[in-house]
């Protein structure tokens, strides 16, 4: 099964584009879930989530809808004294797990998370602390993209996040691999001019993919889906609803190929 969604859903600049102009922010998720089958929760990176939050979020979505929850920043960026944070983070996921609406944890590591023995050990520790909770890993430095890394992920049942982003020397190239039962693809856009130099964070993701650019990925996604039980395709080029436009486009492309897409 292939699920198509976007990197977040609660954006003010989607009003009048995807949502009604005067929509109440509390109504966004239920409206979003009418069209897409999953979403990434980004707020969980900035502040520790809790059960109450996810209980009410899942109640706004239909059966089968999936939430991918970004790991809290201390777990991926600071990586020190994380024992209690791991416990609190896992406890918060309970309502999603109990209702069958939990997709996986997205562990997005920074570009400063380089390939070395200490960080390899931390990935193993991350897996141990998460116990049997599904986890996918996104690297931000190309050093990690090698066979040893893929073997490490497979051995620890960690999914690899395939990415589409500018082809700068240190960034991760568009490499497709399945290292767990969960496949994952994130489209960040190809905004070369604003990737490193921008005033606002959202400028990095100001990019609209063409149909031809998305078609390049269609056979790769199909290949990934063949090797996994569930594959998430996330559009993170969220500026002014461009993720919605491209989400609809990639879904239609995959459907035309006869693939099982939600």
How would you write the pLDDT of the chain (262 residues) with one tens digit per residue?
999 999 999 999 999 999 999 999 999 999 999 999 999 999 999 999 999 999 999 999 999 999 999 999 999 999 999 999 999 999 999 999 999 999 999 999 999 999 999 999 999 999 999 999 999 999 999 999 999 999 999 999 999 999 999 999 899 999 999 999 999 999 999 987 877 777 777 788 899 999 999 999 999 999 999 999 999 999 999 999 999 999 999 999 999 999 999 9
What the block records as the tokens of 140 is 């931000």
> Does 62 map to a domain?
yes
Q: Whole domain around residue 159: which residue ranges?
A: 2-256
> Does 168 map to a domain?
yes
pLDDT of 51 reads 97
> Does 71 map to a domain?
yes
Q: How far from the centroid of its chain's Cα atoms is residue 48's Cα?
A: 18
> Does 262 map to a domain?
no
> Does 252 map to a domain?
yes
Q: How many domains does the chain have?
A: 1
Q: What is the CATH number of the domain that holds 103?
A: 3.20.20.410
pLDDT of 199 reads 72
> Does 68 map to a domain?
yes
Q: What is the DSSP string of the chain?
A: -EEEEES-S--GGGBTTTB-TT--GGGHHHHHTTT-SEEEE-HHHHS---HHHHHHHHTTS-TT-EEEEEPPHIIIII-SS-HHHHHHHHHHTHHHHHTT-EEEEEEE--TT--SSHHHHHHHHHHHHHHTTS-EEEE-SSGGG-SHHHHHHHHHTT-EEEEEE----TTSPP------SSEEEEEE----HHHHSS-SSGGGGG-----HHHHHHHHHHHHHHHHT-SEEEEEE---GGGHHHHHHHHHHHHHHHTT--B-
pLDDT of 262 reads 92
> Does 24 map to a domain?
yes
> Does 261 map to a domain?
no
User: What is the number of alpha carbons within 13 Å of residue 43 lying toward its C-beta?
Assistant: 11
């Amino acid at each position: 099964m292939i699920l198509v969604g976007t990197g977040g859903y609660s954006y003010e600049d989607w009003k009048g584009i995807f949502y009604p102009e005067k929509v109440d922010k509390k109504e966004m998720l239920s409206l979003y879930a009418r069209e897409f089958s999953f979403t990434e929760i980004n707020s969980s990176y900035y502040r520790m989530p809790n059960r109450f939050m996810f209980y009410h979020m899942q109640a706004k979505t239909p059966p089968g809808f999936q939430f991918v929850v970004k790991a809290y920043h201390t777990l991926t960026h600071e990586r020190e004294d994380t024992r209690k944070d791991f416990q609190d983070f896992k406890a918060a996921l309970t309502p999603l797990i109990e209702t069958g609406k939990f997709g996986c944890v997205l562990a997005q590591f920074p570009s400063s998370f380089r390939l070395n023995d200490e960080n390899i050990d931390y990935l193993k520790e991350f897996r141990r602390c998460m116990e049997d909770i599904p986890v996918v890993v996104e690297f931000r430095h190309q050093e990690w993209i090698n066979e040893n890394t893929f073997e490490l992920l497979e051995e620890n049942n960690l999914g690899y996040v395939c990415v589409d982003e500018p082809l700068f020397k240190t960034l991760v190239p568009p490499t497709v691999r399945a290292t767990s039962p969960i496949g994952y693809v994130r489209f960040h856009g190809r905004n070369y001019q604003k990737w490193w130099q921008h005033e606002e964070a959202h400028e990095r993701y100001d990019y609209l993919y063409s149909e031809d650019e998305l078609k390049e990925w269609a056979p790769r996604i199909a290949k990934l889906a063949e090797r996994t039980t569930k594959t998430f395709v996330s559009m993170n080029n969220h500026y002014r609803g461009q993720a919605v436009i491209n989400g609809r486009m990639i879904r239609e492309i995959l459907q035309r190929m006869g693939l099982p897409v939600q």
